[in-house]
Amino acid sequence: MSAAFDAVDLIRAKRDGRSLSGEAIDWLVDAYTRGAVADEQMSAYLMAVVWRGMSPAELARWTGAMIDSGERLDLAGVGRPTVDKHSTGGVGDKVSLALVPLVAACGVAVPQLSGRGLGHTGGTLDKMESIPGWRADLPLGRMRRQLGEIGAVICAAGAGLAPADRRLYALRDVTGTVESIPLIASSIMSKKIAEGTSALVLDVKVGSGAFMTSAGEARELARTMVGLGAAAGVRTEALLTAMDSPLGRTAGNALEVAEAVDVLRGGGPADVVEVTVALARLMLDLAGADSGTGAGGPTPDPAEVLARGEAYPVWRAMVAAQGGDPDAALPRASTVETVPAPASGYLTRLDARAVGVAAWRLGAGRARKEDAVSAAAGVRWLAGVGDPVEAGRPLLELHTDDPATFDRARVALTGAIAVGPAPPAATPLVLGRVR
């Protein structure tokens, strides 16, 4: 490690808009991870980054220092091409649950290191943990074996993977320094690069239910992350996908698992299927970029594999390998109330963020990382945007084990629903591709 710097000097430099040297960045990340730089000092530095940004060279070095704070996984012995996917988070986004076994069924291994939800966006691990017996934590050796045998893993990142990010993320969450594209990009990409996959596809959500509400910001974030991946030797591309309306027909943990299983059996909502297939095709393309094949032969069409239900056995094997019972009944809420359609006509708006906040308030999400979540809580909508609805008939179902949460969930939905005399013009789900 380089010689010590002075944290206050580095804070002043960034505050005044100057770029830090690579050695200074290495020292700052390492010293904070070791506890030699105090939380209040790093908080000041992060706020300076929010205001002043980072140069491309600074960001690449910052991301590299976060990766170097821990271990790097070696997936070379898996025996298949590897590719991962990351979503920036949305409402009803159960795509990973169907996507991982789908891509594995097409011959490519997917080491999906996932996280838990915070606020109105759901977490993949929270959803999977609604399956009785399923475990998120896997030792590295077991993860490798499962990738080789089944081709699919959804699990938590180990404590040794980019530990600097773990400390920095927790600090950003409580200091108002989350909203910075360089900090978001480095947080995501440090873990994804460290996991050792050879290719990565990013699903960058755009809209009211997404972290990035404007297409311009989402594209900038996508370009930044794709650049970091490419600089690290990981084939990386991104899709921008719409998140003004929630995906599918459910938001919640067990509710979304059940919907993902429907997709894997060849059914499910058309929007979930469309996004899943679009991401799968890109993942297979990147994973087979060197040979033109996904697993020693022509890469199958994931739309056909999904429609035939051929990914469902991979799902069952993946769940069972991690201690889950794929045949077990999923948790169901003890109390369900409905929200009626306000008028007759066509549903023209169902706001994704409002639905996500309602699900969160019913118990499906958490306000702090240490909060527990309810497996059974959530929201189901009985019509999608463009569908006909009838005044007074049930439009939404609110699921919870705590009836005291209903009032606040209904408040969250104020203004979220609009009905008009004609269906709205169709809008695309996939908004663009960033290479």
Helices (H), 288-404: 302-307, 312-321, 352-359
Quote the radius of gyration of the chain (alpha carbons, Å): 22
- The predicted pLDDT at position 290 comes to 44
DSSP code string of 229-252: HHHTT-EEEEEEEE-SS-STTEEE
- How many beta carbons lie within 10 A of that of residue 61, not counting itself? 21
Higher pLDDT, 116 or 429: 429
Map out the domains of the chain as residue ranges.
7-53, 76-321, 335-420
The answer to whether the beta carbons of residues 14 and 49 sit under 8 Å apart is yes
The tokens describing 98, both together, are 């169907």
Percent of the chain predicted with pLDDT > 70: 97
- The predicted pLDDT at position 319 comes to 98
Helices (H), 181-233: 181-194, 215-231
The predicted-structure confidence for 301-321, as pLDDT tens digits, reads as follows 999 999 999 999 999 999 999
C-alpha atoms less than 13 angstroms from C-alpha of 30 in its C-beta half-sphere: 15
The tokens describing 93, both together, are 């986004």
Mean local confidence (pLDDT), 56-67: 97
Q: Full-prediction pTM beyond 0.85?
A: yes
The predicted-structure confidence for 193-245, as pLDDT tens digits, reads as follows 999 999 999 999 999 999 899 999 999 999 999 999 999 999 999 999 999 99
- The predicted pLDDT at position 228 comes to 97
Looking at domain 76-321, its CATH class is alpha beta
Residue 291 above 80 pLDDT?
Answer: no
The tokens describing 154, both together, are 């959804």
Task: Say which CATH architecture domain 7-53 belongs to.
Answer: Up-down Bundle (1.20)
**C-alpha distances in angstroms, 372 versus 255, 263, 377?**
17, 28, 12
Q: Which residues pair with 420 in a beta bridge?
A: 346
Please choose, from the candidates 119, 151, 155, the residue with its C-alpha nearest in 3D space to the C-alpha of residue 134. 155
Enumerate residues 6+ apart whose C-beta is below 8 A from 328. 131, 132, 133
State the pLDDT confidence band at 289, using cuts at 50, 70 and 90: very low
Summary mean pLDDT of the chain: 94
Q: Which residues pair with 346 in a beta bridge?
A: 388, 420
The answer to whether the beta carbons of residues 265 and 312 sit under 8 Å apart is yes
- The predicted pLDDT at position 293 comes to 43
- How many beta carbons lie within 10 A of that of residue 329, not counting itself? 8
CA 296 to chain centre: 30
The predicted-structure confidence for 409-433, as pLDDT tens digits, reads as follows 999 999 999 999 999 999 999 999 9
Residue 334 above 70 pLDDT?
Answer: yes
The answer to whether the beta carbons of residues 218 and 206 sit under 8 Å apart is yes
Find which of 4-8, 172-176, 207-211, 409-413 is predicted with most confidence, using mean pLDDT: 409-413
The answer to whether the beta carbons of residues 134 and 324 sit under 8 Å apart is yes
CATH number of this structure's domain 335-420, picked from the four choices 3.90.1150.10, 3.10.310.10, 3.90.1170.30, 1.20.120.1150: 3.90.1170.30
CA 406 to chain centre: 27
Among 26-35, 85-94, 120-129, 222-231, the range scoring the smallest mean pLDDT is: 120-129
Q: For helices 39-52 and 7-15, give the axis angle rounded to 10 degrees.
A: 20
CA distance 323 to 121: 26
The predicted-structure confidence for 130-163, as pLDDT tens digits, reads as follows 999 999 999 989 999 999 999 999 999 888 899 9
CA 104 to chain centre: 19
State the pLDDT confidence band at 360, using cuts at 50, 70 and 90: very high
Q: Is the dihedral of CA 283, 286, 288, 293 positive or negative?
A: positive
Tell me how far apart the 2 most distant CA atoms of the chain are, in Å: 70
CA distance 400 to 276: 28
Helices (H), 344-388: 352-359
Residue 4 above 70 pLDDT?
Answer: yes
* Catalytic residue annotation: 86, 165, 172, 187, 191
**C-alpha distances in angstroms, 309 versus 165, 230, 314, 315, 317?**
38, 34, 10, 10, 14
- How many beta carbons lie within 10 A of that of residue 428, not counting itself? 10
